[in-house]
Structure 1
Amino acid sequence: METEHYAVSIESERIFLLSEAHQAHFTDTSWVRLGTHTEHPLIYIQPVETQAEETYELSYQSSGRRINCRSFLRQHNYHHTQTQRYQAEWSAAIGSLIIDLSVPVSD
């Protein structure tokens, strides 16, 4: 089975889902739940059907969607002074996009 890889960008206050990731897995929702791994530098982005506690709204942006999540990023010590792109992959097992922060993508 082939793994689906996508580009995601993170800056100090938001995460950007670029068009391919958004179109593949997030078109049926306006809300996501964010999470982290306890031992590895990973961020999980899970689409959810409705707004609830601990969810974030997907906002429109011409190149994809934006998640304004400053408090989440700061709470988990993900401080980025400049926008950084990462590779992410979809996990069907947990229904989430997984961003590996240990491997930034250089342009």
Structure 2
Amino acid sequence: MKSYKEIEKKHSPEEIAESLVFPGPKDPVKREKMLSALREVRKQQKENQSEESKLISQLLQLKFLMEDYLKADSFNKNFYFGYFLNEYIARLEKKKKAVCSGD
């Protein structure tokens, strides 16, 4: 496999980018039709998703948010332990009293 430096010698950055990205239709009407169809498919998939699957997705989203924050080099005062705990409780759709009392 060729390295990027070898490819860069023969092709411009624009040509490299064009070779990696699938171009969509340039016509705005066609593009909007395609995006509308994609939105409809995604909406149907979301509606057919089970409650368990939705919960797993939400918890994974929170997990990745926590991992990204821990890997970040900068401090964000909005992301503290209580924030993540509240998000976890909200995504489980539990009351804070029920979690604290062990119910």
Q: What TM-score comes out, normalization by structure 1 length?
A: 0.20
Identify the structure with bigger relative contact order (alpha carbons < 8 Å, sequence gap 6+).
1
More strand by share: 1
Q: TM-score, normalised by structure 2?
A: 0.21
